[in-house]
């Protein structure tokens, strides 16, 4: 496309999406601190803006990607050739033992607020740095407790750009999976959870337990959480460790010495370094144990 044509589209988009940015580098929006620019970047603060962004992308025939807190993705060095819609819808509504959180709310903020209202049920999510939308899409949690267990219903923008409420059973939840994970057509805008009243003493006991369980994670490093899902009846970190890969480095990417299922950006890592390291890990684990590891993280912009 000519520069004039490009300027024309940028101008039209600026009118439709106030505050849209062009060629916005995505690395700072990810916990890996890796990723090239988005051709178009728009932060949507409420449902109206989210819907408008989706419709605009469709009208202009632009690819779009929904970005939460960027804590479970690897964005390519060349970035994303389309519109990144960053979820900044932040409302939380309490109704006795029910709470409705918009999808851009950070999981940690929701836990703090529920605890302050003596509500228990989400403590097992302590330390998970994503948003409600990203968390529900990936059915996050611990090896034994996943976020779907507290969900009552999910409000989405469906493929026909309508707002629809779906119950938890139609979410097709399983370990680190939901029908929303690989499906860019449906966007989560709010989630209703059912919790229980409890005393602060009981809640704080749980908080301490779950924080202690995280002591082995490199939470202060640039990373994207677990790179691989646990294969059935196995732990990915143990397989990687037994393959002798703890501390293995390629370019700026390194297998964490604290937790072998985490890859760390040691400073200047490129997405390509991470891709080479994950491929190497998969090959080594396959050769040694005849097990095919599968990524928990999602790759963005590699098509
Ligand atoms: C230090 C660290 C520790 C972690 N520990 C854990 C852990 O213990 N357990 C665990 O399960 N995970 C863990 N994670 C992974 C990660 O935090 C979760 O998967 C997280 O909830 C992802 O949410 P996000 O907002 O960052 O999503 P993003 O990374 O922004 O997006 C992930 C996917 O969700 C999609 N998505 C985001 N928002 C929406 C929406 N509103 N509607 C539809 N799709 C959407 C995106 O398009 C993308 O495909 C950890 C990560 C880090 C960095």
Q: What is the pLDDT of residues 4-40, one digit of tens each?
A: 667 889 999 999 999 999 999 999 999 999 999 999 9
Q: Please state which of the four CATH numbers 3.30.470.10, 3.40.50.970, 2.30.30.100, 3.30.465.10 is assigned to the domain occupying 92-213.
A: 3.30.465.10
Q: For residue 249, how many other CB atoms are within 10 A of its CB?
A: 14
Q: What are the tens digits of pLDDT across the range 185-224?
A: 899 999 999 999 999 999 999 999 999 988 888 888 999 9
Residue 68 CB less than 6 A away from ligand 1: yes
Ligand 1 atom, smallest distance to 103 CA? 41
List, in sequence order, every residue forming a beta bridge with 164; answer none if it has no partner: 156
Q: What is the pLDDT of residue 217?
A: 84
Note whether 75 and 170 are within 8 A (CB): no
Cα–ligand 1 centroid distance for 141 (angstroms):
10
Ligand 1 atom, smallest distance to 146 CA? 11
Which CATH code for domain 3-87?
3.30.43.10
> Which positions are catalytic?
176, 226, 296
Is 253 in a helix, a strand, or coil? strand
Note whether 250 and 266 are within 8 A (CB): no
Please state whether the predicted TM-score (pTM) of the whole model is above 0.75. yes
C-alpha 256/C-alpha 71 separation (Å) is 16
Architecture of domain 236-300: Alpha-Beta Complex (3.90)
Dmax (CA) for the chain in angstroms is 64
Q: For residue 177, how many other CB atoms are within 10 A of its CB?
A: 18
Over 70: is that where the pLDDT of 1 sits?
Answer: no
Q: Which of 220, 144, 154, 204 has its CA nearest to residue 176? A: 144
Mean pLDDT (the chain, rounded): 96
Domain boundaries, given as residue ranges, for the chain: 3-87, 92-213, 236-300
């Amino acid at each position: 496309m000519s520069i004039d044509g490009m300027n024309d589209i940028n101008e039209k988009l600026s009118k439709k999406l106030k505050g849209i940015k062009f060629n916005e580098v995505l690395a700072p929006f990810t916990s890996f601190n890796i990723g090239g620019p988005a051709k178009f970047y728009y932060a949507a603060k409420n449902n109206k803006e989210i819907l408008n962004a989706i419709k605009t992308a469709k009208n202009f025939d632009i690819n779009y990607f929904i970005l939460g807190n960027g804590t479970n993705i690897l964005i390519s060095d060349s970035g994303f050739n389309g519109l990144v819609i960053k979820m900044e819808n932040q409302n939380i509504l309490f109704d006795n033992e029910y709470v409705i959180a918009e999808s851009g709310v950070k999981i940690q903020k929701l836990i703090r607020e529920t605890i302050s209202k003596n509500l228990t049920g989400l403590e097992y999510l302590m330390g998970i740095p994503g948003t409600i939308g990203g968390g529900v899409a990936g059915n996050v949690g611990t090896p034994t407790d996943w976020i779907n267990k507290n969900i009552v219903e999910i409000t989405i923008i469906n493929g026909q750009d309508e707002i629809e409420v779906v119950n938890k059973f139609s979410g097709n939840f399983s370990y680190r999976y939901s029908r929303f994970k690989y499906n860019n057509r449906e966007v989560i805008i709010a989630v209703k959870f059912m919790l229980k009243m409890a005393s602060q003493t009981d809640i704080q006991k749980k908080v301490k337990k779950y924080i202690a369980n995280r002591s082995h994670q490199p939470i202060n490093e640039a990373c994207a959480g677990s790179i691989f899902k646990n294969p059935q009846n196995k732990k990915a970190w143990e397989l990687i460790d037994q393959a002798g890969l703890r501390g293995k480095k390629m370019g700026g990417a390194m297998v964490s010495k604290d937790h072998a299922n985490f890859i760390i950006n040691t400073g200047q890592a490129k997405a390509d370094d991470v891709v080479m390291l994950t491929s190497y890990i998969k090959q080594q684990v396959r050769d040694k144990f005849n097990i095919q590891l599968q990524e928990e993280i999602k790759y963005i912009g590699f098509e």
